[in-house]
Structure 1
Amino acid sequence: MPGLVYDAARRELGRNNLAPVYYLTGSEEILKDELVAAIVNAALDPQDRDFNLDIRTAGDLDGESLHALVETVPMLAERRVVVIRGLEQWRKGAKVWEVLGRYLRSPSATTVLVLLHATEEPDAEILSASTHVVLEPLSGDDLHRWARAHVAAAGVRLEPAALAHLLRAVGDDLAHVQAEIEKLAGAIGDDRPVTVDDVAQFVGVRHGETLEDWVTAVLQRDVVRAVRLVDLVLPQPGITGVRMITALGTELVGVRLARALADHGLSGRRLEQALLAELRQARPPGARSWADLASSWTAAISRWTGADLDYAIEAALETDTALKSTTVSDEGGLLRGFILGLRGQDRAA
Structure 2
Amino acid sequence: MPKHPFDAFSREVRNGEIPPAIYLYGEEEVLKDEAVRAILDRVVDPGLRDFNYDQRSAAQLDGDDVEALCTTLPMMADRRMVVIRDVEAWNKRARAKMAILRYLEQPAAETVLVLIQSAPRKDDDRGDPDADLVTRTTAVEVGRPSTKVAEKWVQKRASERGVVLEADAVVHLVKAVDGDLAAARTELDKLAGLGGGPPVTLEVLTGLLGVRHGETAADWCDAVLEDDPGRASLLLPHILELSGVSGVGLLIQLGTHLIGLGVARVQYDKGLRGGSLNKAVFDTLLRARPPGRLDYRGAAERWSRLAEAWPLHRVEAAVAAARRADRRLKGTSLADERGVLVDLIMQLAHREREAA
Q: Which range moves more in the overlay, 79-88 or 199-208?
A: 79-88
Task: Give the aligned residue type for 1:32.
Answer: K
CA deviation after TM superposition for structure 1 residue 81, in Å: 0.5
What residue is the counterpart of 1:203 in the other structure? Answer: 209
1:232 aligns with 2:219: no
Asked whether the 8 Å contact 1:242–1:323 carries over to 2, the reply is: yes
Question: What percentage of residue pairs aligned between the two structures are identical?
Answer: 39
Task: Output aligned runs, 1:1-349, within 5 Å.
Answer: 3-90=3-90, 93-118=93-118, 119-187=126-194, 189=196, 191-253=197-259, 271=274, 273-274=275-276, 277=279, 281=283, 282=285, 290=297, 294=301, 298=305, 300=306, 307-320=313-326, 323=329, 329-343=335-349, 346-347=352-353
CA deviation after TM superposition for structure 1 residue 233, in Å: 0.7
Q: Distance in 2 between matches of 1:92 and 1:235?
A: 46
Asked whether the 8 Å contact 2:264–2:281 carries over to 1, the reply is: no
Q: 1:254 to 1:102 in 2, by over 3 A?
A: closer
Q: Which range moves more in the overlay, 76-85 or 124-133?
A: 124-133
Question: TM-score, normalising length from structure 1?
Answer: 0.82
Task: Give the aligned residue type for 1:116.
Answer: I
Asked whether the 8 Å contact 2:87–2:116 carries over to 1, the reply is: yes
Q: Which range moves more in the overlay, 209-218 or 4-13?
A: 4-13
* Aligned residue pairs, count: 343
Asked whether the 8 Å contact 1:158–1:193 carries over to 2, the reply is: yes
Q: Which range moves more in the overlay, 107-116 or 287-296?
A: 287-296
CA deviation after TM superposition for structure 1 residue 166, in Å: 1.0
Gapped regions of structure 1 (runs ≥ 5): none
Question: TM-score, normalising length from structure 2?
Answer: 0.81
What is the alpha-carbon root mean square deviation over aligned residues? Answer: 3.4
CA deviation after TM superposition for structure 1 residue 304, in Å: 5.0
Asked whether the 8 Å contact 1:322–1:328 carries over to 2, the reply is: no
Asked whether the 8 Å contact 1:259–1:301 carries over to 2, the reply is: yes
Q: Distance in 2 between matches of 1:240 and 1:113?
A: 42
Gapped regions of structure 2 (runs ≥ 5): 119-125
Q: Distance in 1 between matches of 2:246 and 2:9?
A: 33
Asked whether the 8 Å contact 2:21–2:137 carries over to 1, the reply is: yes
CA deviation after TM superposition for structure 1 residue 320, in Å: 4.6
Q: SS at 2:227's partner residue?
A: coil
